[in-house]
Amino acid sequence: MNDESPKGELQNESAEDDVFLKKIESNMLTEMALRSIPDINKVFIKSGKVNKFDENEGFKLEVEWMLDTEGVNLLTIMCHEDVDARRTTSNHLIEVIEVIGIEAVRRSLLDELRVVISFD
């Protein structure tokens, strides 16, 4: 009894597998968000010092890590469970007005103007 398949049959199965895998790859590259949040192209990590209150020691400066992004998707980011939505900021005014409202745009615009003016 010969359990081996003819070579032609194995090559056909291999070709079918290759086509199937290429279709899956194509679908993943076009449909799947590779960075988990659409429209966010790059993420940069930075540290900053923040005043924190401790009951025993009072106010003290602590190093805190933050993420800056290239690209915007404010609504999705603010809904993410690991993001503090109260401290999330954006300099994309159109998205801020659509997601948070007119008062938030006013505040964002004033904050950006302060940064530009105090850059001296």
What's the average model confidence in pLDDT over 55-84? 90
Which residue from 50, 81, 83, 49 is spatially nearest to 67, judged by alpha carbons? 83
Whole-number average pLDDT of the chain: 84
Between vectors from CA 77 to CA 75 and to CA 79, what angle results, nearest 5°? 70
3-state secondary structure 65-100: EEEEEECCCHHHHHHCCCCCHHHCCCCCHHHHHHHC
On the question of pLDDT at 15 being above 60, the answer is: yes
The domain limits of the chain are: 1-32, 42-117
What's the average model confidence in pLDDT over 29-36? 61
Residues of the chain with pLDDT > 70, as a percent, come to 84
